[in-house]
Structure 1
């Protein structure tokens, strides 16, 4: 009987850790912005009309003002517009919509906006996670070979400050 309760407790802890990991505020952030922009562009009367939603997706993705990451999301969504339009027409929130379409293409939620690095001081960089510091370096096209400690990543981010600013992929 003890082993059953231990297994049940382990299952509860595993489930809670999985749900906590999926609550990353940056998860699917670019997809959610694109979908919210589409939702804002559609008149209320057409928000249940699938062809109108597909047309609005196409119009949103055709804009010249999109960032490189938003264009990347459009590239992923274009072949599955019809699959996106159905839950969209039912009024599904954008976060759930993006997580649903992420099941068909796991790269959708992997697209993230770059971490803002303008005017960051060393004390601000220490607040970032190593994963975010690595992301900054990847955005700058720099690889930190031999970096193990967080301080080494911070130093590399500071040393490559002159490379910041590009948003192309």
Structure 2
């Protein structure tokens, strides 16, 4: 009985570690914070008011994608909390994970999966969750889809609906 509980605890730990190593985790937040850091002069990267101003300037840009605007929406009320670790030179991946504790939706914002010129063999490498995300971005429901092959078929059938924001 004890061996089963140890094995189940190890499985839970392994699954949580693999989930936190998702390469797409916090990808939009990290892009935003990297661009804000690059927009600041070296001396200004330690000045909290200038960091807050740079965040505001970045978020006021007209050329932001919908996902970047969403990060700005989440970060705007906590600019001060973001500026503190930012001013200490914390790497952007750790910075995003820290502010994710204040607002768990920050790391859930992900760029859409690029589907341009994907062949069937490429789609089979995607997870069902990613296939569902592609369909959701296209505004398509896959009613009755259970198997991965059904989701792949629906993605291929709706390829003409791939929007400009997807790329």
Q: After superposition, where does 1:1-169 map in structure 2 within 5 Å?
A: 3=2, 10-167=8-165
Question: 1:24-58, CA deviations, whole angstroms, 9 ceiling, x for partnerless residues?
Answer: 00011000000000011111111111001001101
More helix by share: 2
Q: 1:10 & 1:151 partners in 2: Cα distance?
A: 31
- What does the per-residue CA deviation read over 1:54-83, in whole Å, with 9 as the maximum and x for residues that have no partner? 011011111111111101100110111001
Q: Secondary structure, in 3 states, of the residue corresponding to 2:80?
A: helix
Query: Do 1:139 and 1:166's aligned partners in 2 also have CA atoms closer than 8 Å?
Result: no
What is the deviation of 1:121?
1.2
Q: TM-score, length-normalised on structure 1? A: 0.91
DSSP-derived class of the 2:46 partner: coil
Aligned length: 166
Equivalent pair of 1:30/1:69 in contact (CA under 8 Å): yes
> Which structure 2 segments of 5+ residues have no match?
none
Give a deviation string over 1:105-148, Cα, whole Å, max 9, x none.
11111111010011111111111111110010000011111100
Offset, 1:9:
5.9
Distance 1:103 1:160 in 2: 37
Instruction: Measure how far apart 1:12 and its partner are.
Output: 4.4
Stretches of structure 1 lacking an aligned partner (at least 5 in a row): none
- TM-score w.r.t. structure 2 length? 0.92
Q: Which moved more, 1:67-76 or 1:6-15?
A: 6-15
CA RMSD of aligned residues (A): 1.7
